[in-house]
A and B are shown apart, each in its own frame.
Chain A
């Protein structure tokens, strides 16, 4: 197993390099002038053609491909992602500022994905073709067919428009005032729910939670619907295996057969998929945050794309890609840890 992990770790930088190269290729589809816009924080500078040319040379935007890539990569490693007109700050700062909000959302969303997806998946398989299974399957197929943005709009419509329970955004105005401006509130983690508890402000905690529920439901729905199907089929597969028959022949009770013998095996492929799904929620974050005007990375990504803020678009593409690559590695390694056949190579 050790060699497997080492191999994966060695490939990691290669993949990261490859991804950065791919993104650079996309970036280079723009003209040097267009790309220059991401490097200056004052657009009026560009009006002067001479100054513009100097800057283009300075940032190597007109250089041949390999050199251009080299300098671009260098600036990335310095965490210089350029300037974002939409956020009115350097891209990296904009990312860092919005990251906690998105992370808070994603982390909370993992819970329903795992619990509902896997738990229901096991039940669905065990009650194969029963009414419970059919109902669960149909719900999952519908979930699979409902695009996130429509589902999100539906949630917003019902729970905010009609019921008024779950408002969009991240905090109500009164809570925002306290959290962002007051001196009494300490932002330890920038995870508002955690910070609220740490500051012993339960009212802010509930307010933040209220704003999170809609996005959590939306973000997790497609993931758990998919995970459910994967778990179900993996479980069905496993229950057909010979060693399940052996366990029954030993007189083991059905509950243990399902939850120990079968599930442990069925989970092996599911864990890897679950990992992918969670990482894949990064894509869903864009839409979910847009629908609920939740001020995270996704929302900013969408608005910067709309306004042709190239630097920001490239910036969050790089970030998401990085998270995906590292996340994949983590998933692969945990797969090796779970399956004794791989672990004891």
Chain B
């Protein structure tokens, strides 16, 4: 149920720029979205579109030379961007947690798994050691790691890839966060393990009643787990709707291109079309609509004016001048089955 009472995160006009030697990179340029209680928002796009930077901006973990230069990030009605470092530290790991792509490099190789989990508990709740250790064992059990009481004394390199990611999840959930941000959590895992991890995450989110922002370039993953989706391109959101609408009635040429460029069991496509061209150079974005050089529907207007993100249908926003063309193309494709077992 989406209403203002249930909104836990509101990102308004977020702008994060990188001030490099060679020029300013507008990695995130005016991004707006909301996350509601108990739901998962998917942030989708190719590498370099700004999705990870958005996540780092929310956590305020940007590396030099990046800086958030504008906008608001309202978490529980408070703007995170005006908080000082001490206040942010109290939020990180406790109210908002993050898991990262590479569990091998994201876990400290010289500290035990147990320590890395109990650390958050000790930092945020000043929990004393035995209690924290018990909780760590509990968490490892819940994420499906066998013999957890032994595992807490082990080091990351002694665990398999899938188990490491489970441990990361345990670490992130240890303090019962309201919001979990997952940055490509399954990308570096085997496909079978991927499915397991996604199932686990869905289960845990329900149990912990947390919300999640899932960042990925993999449409299959997003279909599995996201309730709503924001598609990003060149630092801006180009389409923003619930999952069904994105997959069955996409309105932006980029979204449409993404969907038809992967093989799908539920779509009857003669030929896979890849999107022509490549992701633009962040130092030299095109004029007008950022996608127009690769867009088959582009017109003169697209070359000159950048379209705003407009709410076309209820809860479905698109940033494009010619959505009717996409609608037409989409109608041509017949859907032969269901997207997921849930439909």
Contacts and interface: CB of A to CB of B under 8 A. Distances in A.
A/B contact in complex, CB under 8 angstroms: yes
Nearest to B96: A249
Contacts of A329: none
A251 B107 contact: no
Secondary structure class of chain A's binding surface, majority of residues: helix
Interface stretch (B15-23, B84-92, B314-322): B84-92
A340 B98 contact: no
Most A-side CB within 10 Å, residue of B106, B120, B157: B106
A265 B93 contact: no
Given A241-B105, A242-B102, A341-B155, A249 B110 contact: no
Contacts of B108: 243, 246-247, 261, 264-265
B299 interface: no
Interface residues of A, number: 21
A339 interface: yes
A251 B89 contact: yes
B195 to A, nearest CB: 24
Contact of B119 (A252, A268, A340, A344): A252
Given A248-B61, A250-B119, A251-B91, A243 B106 contact: yes
A157 B65 CA distance: 48
A124 B92 CA distance: 27
Contact of A250 (B105, B109, B110, B123): B123
A125 B109 CA distance: 21
A212 to B, nearest CB: 36
Given A249-B97, A251-B91, A264-B111, A341 B105 contact: no
Contacts of B100: 242, 245-246, 249
B196 interface: no
A250 B93 contact: yes
Contact of A243 (B85, B107, B123): B107
Nearest to B117: A250
A115 B175 CA distance: 38
B35 interface: no
A127 to B, nearest CB: 13
B59 interface: yes
Contacts, number: 75
Most B-side CB within 10 Å, residue of A245, A249, A341: A249
Contacts of A183: none
Interface string A256-280: 0000010011001000000000000
Contacts of B97: 249-250
B171 interface: yes
A341 B107 CA distance: 13
Nearest to A262: B108
User: How large, as a class, is the contact surface on chain B?
Assistant: 20 to 34
A339 B155 CA distance: 11
B61 A251 contact: no
B105 A248 contact: no
A243 B94 contact: no
Contact of B158 (A247, A339, A344): A344
A261 B171 CA distance: 16
B110 A340 contact: yes
B28 to A, nearest CB: 18
B132 to A, nearest CB: 13
Contacts of B171: 246, 250
A242 B155 contact: no
Interface of B: 59, 61, 85, 89-94, 97-98, 100, 102, 105-111, 119-120, 123-124, 155, 157-158, 168, 171
18 contacts: A242-B102, A242-B105, A243-B108, A246-B108, A246-B171, A248-B61, A249-B92, A249-B93, A249-B97, A250-B119, A250-B171, A251-B93, A251-B123, A252-B93, A264-B111, A265-B110, A340-B110, A340-B155
Given A246-B100, A261-B108, 8 more contacts: A241-B105, A242-B102, A249-B59, A249-B97, A250-B123, A251-B94, A251-B123, A341-B157
